[in-house]
Amino acid sequence: MNNLDLLIKLAIEEDIGSGDITSQATIPEALLAKAQIRAKQDLVVSGLDVARRVFAEIDPSISWKTVLREGERCGKDEVIAVLEGKARALLAGERTALNFLQRLSGIATLTRTFVDAIAGTKARVLDTRKTTPGFRILEKDAVHAGGGTNHRMGLFDHFLIKNNHITAAGSVSAALERAKAARKPGQKIEIEARAMDEVKDALECGADIIMLDNMSVDQVRDAKALVAGRALLEVSGNVTLANVHAYAETGVDFISVGAITHSPPAADINMLIEIGS
């Protein structure tokens, strides 16, 4: 069983437990129904496959027809998917499927808003590790669906030397030299810089990517001039929709936005059933 299968099973068990007592009491077991999942706001769709798999786990006989594609913009009142099957099974899966779909579409929608805000610049919107525990793959897929770019998946696949690493290592140069000695062919090393002297140290020690942490737009512009293309630059910290374009206009390569995964508003999506099939 892979992690996503386990997550789906846990989510269903959390909601259904020993059984949906309301549906069992009010709906005949053999009653068939049709359901439409609809957007109640403009959004970018994400999470279609996991929502489909929720219903398939509850009752493999449920049919699922996707109307919109992953990453597609969706207008208010548009149909996202159509399902048919036993009414009890449809209702048993409704909340769990919608929880996934609303969360992931919310991430994709907010990501698209940031991506649109920097259109016309070279910068790309990056996600972070500020994800819901257990949901990381899904949430990073949602960022991709919204037009963003995935940063590292975890601590295992990308060197990112942050302030605590620098403190523990003793200096920027010591941390970088140790990382360079440990890296495998093709791996890039990124390091956080909080001030211009750290940018200079990172550059002199051969960092591939320098993360400009909590710097103002003017400071980022100065760092860009100093680096002059000798390393890639990432802006991180206190990035909002109000200032993201100004940061992008400095010419940096990446802008990481933790908010797209740690605090997106859930997309407003519902499911309504009709009796009969």
Task: Count up the domains in the chain and report the number.
Answer: 2
What are the residue numbers of the active site?
95, 130, 162, 192, 213
The pTM score is 0.95
Q: Which residues contact 161 (CB under 8 A, 6 or more apart)?
A: 169, 172, 175, 176, 179, 189, 190, 191, 192
Q: Are residues 234 and 149 in the same domain?
A: yes
Contacting residues for 179 by C-beta, under 8 A, at least 6 apart: 159, 161, 189
Looking at the structure, tell me whether residues 122 and 101 fall in a common domain. Answer: no
CA dist 264 and 104 (Å) reads: 9
Say whether both 217 and 128 belong to one domain: yes
On whether both 141 and 17 belong to a single domain, the answer is no
If asked whether residues 87 and 132 sit together in one domain, one would say no
* Sign, Cα dihedral of 143, 148, 154, 157: positive
Radius of gyration of the chain, Cα coordinates, nearest whole angstrom: 23
CATH number (domain holding residue 95): 3.90.1170.20
Q: Which of 71, 68, 79 minimizes the C-alpha distance to 112?
A: 71
Domain match, 258 and 268 both? no
Q: Based on the domain organization, do 268 and 159 belong to the same domain? A: no
Range of the domain at 103: 3-114+264-275
Do residues 258 and 270 share a domain?
no
Domain match, 155 and 256 both: yes
Chain-centre distance for alpha carbon 147: 10
Cα–Cα distance for residue pair 29/134, rounded to 1 Å:
34
Beta-carbon neighbour count of residue 180 at 10 Å?
15
Considering the domain architecture, whether residues 177 and 50 belong to the same structural domain is answered as no
Question: Running along the chain, 277 residues long, what does each successive block of 10 average in pLDDT?
Answer: 90 96 96 98 98 98 97 97 98 98 98 98 98 96 98 94 95 95 94 96 96 97 97 96 98 98 97 83
**What is the spatial distance between Cα 229 and Cα 244, in angstroms, rounded to a whole number?**
21
Q: Looking at the structure, do residues 253 and 196 belong to the same domain, yes or no? A: yes
Does residue 218 share a domain with residue 133? yes
Integer angstrom CA distances of residue 49 from 176, 191, 210: 41, 36, 36
Say what the pLDDT of residue 276 is: 57
**pLDDT in the model for residue 2:** 83
Which pLDDT belongs to residue 164? 96
- Measured CA to CA, the distance from residue 255 to residue 124 in angstroms comes to 6
Q: Residue 138: give its domain's CATH number.
A: 3.20.20.70
